[in-house]
Amino acid sequence: MSEEQGFTTRAVHKSRSGEPVVEEPASVPIYQAAPFIFNDMERFAAVGKAKISGGYLYSRWANPTVDALARTIASLEGAEATACFASGMGAIHASVASAVSAGDHVVSARQIYGGTFGLFNDYLPRTGVEVTFVDVTDLDEVAAAFRDKTRVLYFETIGNPSLPVADVDALVAIGHERGATVIVDATFTTPYLFDAVSHGVDLVVHSATKYLGGHSDVTAGVVSGSAEAIATIRHLGIDYGGTLAPLDAWLTIRGVQTLALRMDRICANALTLAGFLEAFPGVERVTYPGLASHPQSSLARKLFERGFGGVLTFEVSGGVAGGRRVLERLRLASPAASLGGTKTLIVHPASITHTQLSREEREAAGITDGLIRVSVGIEDVEDLMADFEQALS
C-alpha cells in the first residue's frame, strides 16, 4: 500500500513486518494477542473449525505461549498432555467436571485445601453431584465410601494444611478397582518430588501459582493426563472461559526452569526448620513429612525420594489469639495466604485459608485453632531460625 497512509494507520500497522524470524529466541515469546490474523482464507476457515489444533485463531481457544507451558508440564509429569487454566481452582473444577454428571458421586479426602472443600461441599451438590469426605489415611473408610455412582476419587499427595501423606498406590488401586477416575492435587510435591502419573494417577493437578511459578507473581493452574482426557478438559476450559493468560504462562515457564534448584533448597530449609521448631520450648507440636514423628514418615520416605516439600505446621498455645500473636511478631517470615514462593510465608489456617469450614469440620481435618502453616522459602536457614526464635520467645 502507499506510504501516503495516515498517521494512525501507520501507527497501527507498521509493526507487522510480515517476515518470519529464522533465529529461535532464547526465551519463549509472549504472544500477547487475543485474535490472530490470517492471509489465507481457507486456512482461516480450517483453523476456525478446529479451534484448538492445527493453528491459532483466538487465545481463549489456544495460544502459542500457553501451549509451550503445556508441553513443558506434560514432559515433566510424564503425561501425554496438559491443559492450562487461570488458577489452580480452575484446573480442579474442570478436571472433576469432566468426569461427573448430575446424579454421580465423588469420594474426596477430608484433608484438602479450603477452596477445594468449598467447591465440593457447596457447589457440586447444587449441580446434582454428591460428595463424601473421608480420612485419606484410613483406607477402609475410603473403600467403604464408594457407591455404584462413584465416578471420582480425589485427594492431595500431602494434604493442606494438616499434612497427611496419601498412600497413593493403595488409593489408586481402590479407585481403579471400582471404576473411578483418580484425581490427585500434587501442588505440595510438584513433579520434581513425586511422579504421580507413574503411580497410576489418571489426572494430576497443580496450582501453578505455587511452586511451579515459584515467585509469588502469577496465578495459574495445570492438569495433566491422557490425551483423550485432557482434550475433554481443554474444551471445558474453553466453554467455562478459565483460560490462562499468555503473560502468566510465560511467567510460569520461567519459574519451572528453576523448579529443581528451588525445591532442593526449600526442602532442605524446611527439614532444618522443622527440627528446630520441634525442639523449641513452648511449641506444642510440629508436623512435617520429613520428621520421624510424622504419622506417615515411612510412607513419605518411600514416595518422596528427593525431599518432603516446603510446608510445615506447628501449634502454639492460646488458640486463635496465640497463633495471631506469633504472626505479628515474625519479621522475616511474611503473613500471606499463599505458598510455594522464594519468600517464607506464614498463615493461620483457622482464621484465613480454611474459613469455609466450620470449627467441627476444621477439627475433623486436623486444623486446630492454634495451628500455624509455614511455607518455607529459599532464605538462609540460620536467618529463618533466628526469626522464629525471637517471635516464639
**What positions carry a catalytic annotation?**
60, 113, 185, 210
Whether the CB-CB separation of 212 and 206 falls below 8 Å is answered with yes
Task: Give the DSSP letter of residue 165.
Answer: B
Quick count: other Cβ atoms within 10 Å of Cβ 354?
Answer: 25
Rounded to whole angstroms, the Cα distance separating 386 from 331 reads 10
CA–CA dist 319, 363 (Å, integer): 13
Q: Is the peptide bond before 161 cis (omega within 30 degrees of 0)?
A: yes
Phi-psi region at 70: left, alpha or beta (left = phi > 0; alpha = psi -120 to 50): alpha
- The phi and psi torsions of 207 (rounded to 5 degrees) equal -80, 100
The Cα 40–Cα 12 span in angstroms is: 21
Contact status, residue 393 vs residue 344, Cβ threshold 8 Å: no
Which one, of 77, 43, 84, 88, lies nearest residue 210 by Cα?
A: 88
- The C-alpha angle 244, 311, 295, rounded to 5 degrees, equals 125
CA angle 240, 245, 251 (to 5 degrees): 140
Spatial separation of the C-alpha atoms in residues 385 and 370, rounded to whole Å: 20
